[in-house]
Structure 1
């Protein structure tokens, strides 16, 4: 590994982006959410909607996010980071929802998003992303 690369700082930067996703989802902050993406980012939602570019991501988010977190507290947690290059990382995330009293809302299931992030101008950005629900067996 290249000793000039500070992996801890990069992981902290990636974790900061994921923490920001949590914050903006909890507070339904559409513009702040969209600002986390590269201009040409791609996003596949948990329902399978394929979005290309920040404008499409913004339009979709403006339709679905306001009101979506009523009585829900989303949680996004980095569970694994694979550096593909020093400036590109595949980030596996655990996504859960909780009630205002702290109980997990299991009927919504758990998500397992994959974020491919790129470091640009010293800042990590969401670049190619797939939001997937964890399948459960009855």
Structure 2
């Protein structure tokens, strides 16, 4: 029999997965405002190419520059691989990001990213607080 704590934990993981699914949706559909709304005001974000962005305004400015048109020749999927609860309302979330052609085939070359998101639950909603994306290089 499941305990209340394990049901609560599963519900929180599902809520976190929903935020990651929203990241995927906003990226695939090039929705910069909706993407930025997933972040806390004081969030920090590091792109796969090392660009450091501090605060939602900086994240918004960057996203509005790069996202429109970014999905014309490719797309990406996001899959939660692991959730580590640091506290009940703070989680480290390991994500597998796959870069695909519009036909769903892996992109040639670097076709995977390995984001780590730190998320916090505030006012009943999980938000991105910090993110670090890293390209996966195969040997």
* TM-score in same-fold range (> 0.5): yes
Asked whether 1:123 is paired with 2:125, we answer yes
Paired position in structure 1 for 2:75: 73
Paired position in structure 2 for 1:92: 94
Q: Is the 8 A contact 2:110 2:136 kept in 1?
A: no
Gaps of 5+ in 1: none
Give secondary structure in 2 for the equivalent of 1:69. coil
Paired position in structure 1 for 2:41: 39
- Structure 1 position 101, deviation (Å): 1.8
- Structure 1 position 106, deviation (Å): 3.2
Structure 2 counterpart of 1:53, from 45, 52, 55:
55
Q: Is the 8 A contact 1:97 1:104 kept in 2?
A: yes
> What TM-score, normalized to structure 1?
0.93
Paired position in structure 1 for 2:137: 135
> What TM-score, normalized to structure 2?
0.93
Alignment partners' CA distance in 2, 1:49 and 1:31: 19
State the aligned residue count.
137
The farther-off stretch of 102-111 and 41-50 is 102-111
**Aligned alpha-carbon RMSD (Å):** 1.6
